[in-house]
Structure 1
């Protein structure tokens, strides 16, 4: 496991993707923290939460604008656009730090987070291009998130003034934009294709039927889960804005949760990632209910930091992986953060009202509704995603290279020629047992013996398990 990570981080493309995501995480969260602190100087806790979520919603507009800008702006002008955008962003950071007035801070924050939305689209688009189909995807995302949080922890402990914090954030933002500019030059001038980080992979899978439905279901799943995690976030922000000293040490736990999520999610090629995230969501729903019945605030803080790390790694990895099958990968690669931000805006007033009211019964009803909604959407999404996995496995048989891979798989698990014929049917069709038996000119009982033998030799128990095993085997080759 660690050897795989060392190998991946030794690749320029993977290392650059990790650094870009880490820098963006640090700059985005650090600026958000500075913005909330400045707003809270002239506004109450509820107004501070609202101001925070408003700019998060505006960042979603920038994210949706990114694919359009990427198409409209000519390649030779993109570097200039990025330079001008970075100057405006740095100016907005210092305007927020100066805190001339509540209105000026709100306007500066809105403009800044609009640009952050554009930057986020570029970060995840380029990261998806660089990582491609990667067995270590969740681990690399977890490492980047943990690194970004550690940078924020060090910054908050070493920097004691808002001016110095604005300078540091501006410096790291400039580093991120430099990565963008270098990548744009690489996209225009790639003399050595195999060393170009951003060249489209020749063997990238074609768009698969049903991928749009999968993307919409995943976005809805992330939005529903965000209702839970945004409510916990608002609870923490309300206490922070009211003067509760949260401290910086819990952020180390946040970094650890993101790192742990990456390693856990990658187990069995991310086979159980959605189920793991579902369990974390249930724990968060229970925590919200307990907080409404007087549970100590540190309990909510603990669950918030634990769930946040898992949630970020989940939606980032899921959409980067799914974007490979979409018609507009530049739009979908970073959709997770955008879905989260949009949801945060939509439920702000309801969430804050729920937190400050004394109606515990309302909290229970809301938690149960969210639980049922997430459960339904999760099942629908998993079915759609499994169909994509099966279709991708079937498509792999249509190319000569993958045929050789299938033959290598046959040799590795010691399949007979007849078992191989059954294996190919199992992995590339959705035929029933009887339909396969008819197509292979054998009895149903004989076919079932072959299927049992294949499952025993491969250590799987279902067709889906066989699909996943074959794709994992192909990835290794």
Structure 2
């Protein structure tokens, strides 16, 4: 490291001689929302919108075509198909190694989703309707898996992920509310689906970064999955899903019977909750995120108690949606944050949705019978027990987050040259491979081909790493990267 320090000292004077007046804004950090992030946020919003719209439409059509008593069973199988769709995306990336093949395949999946959308609107045969509905949800699950993976890769290390995703999902719920209340026609549903899927596919096949459809770059393929963290996340999401499942099945059943409308004004609480959860999650690096999610679980208990009385059903539904917003954001953001640090980001990015879908699919039918025969008190008791279980699982993480010190790069008044490189790389969220590339860019004056040869990677792969480093640091070239680094260390 001493050779590194000596070399960088020489480069410092060289840089000041070459470019004395460099723009003050060169040290743009990971807090600034980029155009790529906004585009991906729109993509995420459309993904969530299409899934929500399709899910509710399938349930409504099933009630009319097959019968009210069958809706929960259709809902159960359909949501399980969504989970299979997420899993199929990870499998497809293994089967199709070339990005051109992946582009063609995702377009085929999108085309089939439109075809199945038309089928569920116009077919009158129950069997064809069921097959089309399940395949539609499977196709949308596959597309969603791609969107979640892209988001995990693009937002890694960013401090605005929660706001982008929360606002996007909140807007998606509002769009669904508008379509289902103001434009209640098959034509409006079809046009909404066609437009949303078309825009989704366009953004996917022309991504903000050329690595999205190819290999999971600029992230290291040498990452090791932290199975302890994975177990905590999966366990907490499964139990949270059981809590929401105690209410969800009852709500679906009562909506099918006409006793309530899931697209009523109470659903706007869901949109508000998603947005609030997104903003809270971004405070001090998720400091209050788990705590706020656990606190809102008590709303699930309130909502379950109110479900038994038609006069208080609106209040119960609103309380359910408040918890649902934080719950959905937790299962989404937790795995989007976690995925890039694993060996299989294509799988882990959507693991929250996978767990949720399978759990809800198993609870949607039996919970209706529990509610009918044992009343709401049994669901309230079950919700309380499960809430305590989640609290115990997350308690250590909640306490650690509350008493954690701020990021080292923001608190240390002084920083030694020996630790400067590591601190800089941690501050900007570099991956292990990006750290290696960054050190070569700073320490040596070698060109891209020479650095690629030293690291045993292709020039194209190196260029992707360099592009990612430039975006994370807000720089545009190697000179700017030098200046950003020295500005960072001099401030410390």
Question: TM-score when scaled to structure 1?
Answer: 0.74
Are positions 1:334 and 2:357 aligned together?
A: no
Q: Does 1:131 align with 2:155?
A: yes
Q: State which of 415, 418, 422 in structure 2 corresponds to 1:402.
A: 422
Task: Work out whether residues 124 and 333 of structure 1, in 8 Å CA contact, stay in contact via their aligned partners in 2.
Answer: yes
Whole-angstrom CA distance in 2 between matches of 1:28 and 1:309 = 16
**Aligned residue runs from structure 1 range 27-66, under 5 A:** 27-66=50-89
Residue-by-residue CA offset, 1:117-138 (whole Å, 9 max, x unaligned)? 2111100110111111111121
Question: 1:215 and 2:230 equivalent?
Answer: yes
Structure 1: 5+ residue stretches without partners: 191-197, 408-472
* Structure 1 counterpart SS, 2:307: helix
Alpha carbon RMSD of aligned pairs, Å?
A: 3.7
Matched, 1:146 2:163: no
1:257–1:306 Cα contact (<8 Å) kept: yes
Look up the SS of the partner of 2:87 in the other structure.
Answer: helix
Cα distance change of structure 1 residues 142 and 189 upon mapping to structure 2, 3 Å threshold: closer
Q: State the distance in 2 between where 1:245 and 1:362 align.
A: 21
Whose RCO is larger (CA < 8 A, sep 6+)? 2
Describe the shift of the 1:5–1:157 C-alpha distance in structure 2 as closer, same or farther (beyond 3 A).
farther
Q: Does 1:69 align with 2:108?
A: no
Q: Partners of 2:135 and 2:287 in 1: how far apart?
A: 40
Question: Residue by residue, what CA displacement relative to the aligned partner does 1:225-246 show, whole Å, maximum 9, x if unpaired?
Answer: 1111123222222221111353
Is residue 260 of structure 1 aligned with residue 276 of structure 2?
yes
| Counterpart Cα distance in 1 of 2:234 and 2:408 | 21
Q: Report the CA distance shift for 1:301/1:360 in structure 2 as closer, same or farther (over 3 A).
A: closer
- Give the Cα–Cα distance (whole angstroms) in 2 for the partners of residues 364 and 180 of structure 1: 43
CA distance in 1, matches of 2:246, 2:177: 23
- Match in the other structure for 1:345: 361
Checking the alignment, whether the CA contact within 8 Å between 1:208 and 1:391 is kept in structure 2 is: no
Q: Using the alignment, how far apart are the partners of 1:12 and 1:184 within structure 2?
A: 9
Out of 73, 78, 87, which is 2:102 matched to?
78
**Structure-2 change in CA distance of 1:51 and 1:20 (3 Å):** same
Distance, in Å, in 2 between the alignment partners of 1:244 and 1:292 is 12
Secondary structure of the residue aligned to 2:207 is: helix
Selected match of 1:242 from 257, 262, 278: 257
Pair 342,8 (structure 1): closer, same or farther in 2 beyond 3 Å:
farther
**How many positions carry a matched residue from both structures?**
396
Tell me the distance in 1 between the aligned counterparts of 2:61 and 2:373: 26
How far residue 7 of structure 1 moved from its aligned partner, in angstroms, is 7.1
Once structures 1 and 2 are overlaid, which stretch shifts more, 324-333 or 361-370? Answer: 361-370
Q: Is the 8 A contact 2:99 2:213 kept in 1?
A: no
Listed one character per residue, the Cα deviations across residues 111-160 of structure 1 (whole Å, up to 9, x for unaligned) are 11111221111001101111111111211111111121122123223423
State whether structure 2 residue 241 is matched by structure 1 residue 226: yes
Unaligned ranges ≥5, structure 2: 1-27, 410-414, 428-487
Q: Please report the TM-score for the alignment, with normalisation by the length of structure 2.
A: 0.72
Q: Measure, in 2, the Cα distance between the counterparts of 1:188 and 1:124.
A: 11
Partner of 2:372: 356
Q: Deviations over 1:285-329 (max 9, x none)?
A: 243144347772112111122112211112111111111221211
**Which secondary structure state, in structure 1, belongs to the residue aligned with residue 84 of structure 2?**
helix
Residue aligned with 1:16, SS: helix
Q: In structure 1, the residue corresponding to 2:378 is in which secondary structure?
A: helix
- TM superposition shift of 1:357: 2.2
> Residue by residue, what CA displacement relative to the aligned partner does 1:236-266 show, whole Å, maximum 9, x if unpaired?
2222111135354333322111111111222
Q: CA deviation at 1:21?
A: 0.6
The residue aligned with 2:141 is 117
| Equivalent of residue 312 in structure 2, options 296, 315, 328 | 296
Please point out which of 285, 296, 301 is paired with 1:280: 296
Distance 2:169 2:102 in 1: 27
Query: For residues 75 and 189 of structure 1, what CA distance do their matches in structure 2 show?
Result: 5
Question: Could you tell me which of 133, 157, 162 is aligned with 2:181?
Answer: 157
SS of alignment partner, residue 178 of structure 1: helix
CA gap of 1:251–1:380, structure 2 versus 1, over 3 A, is same
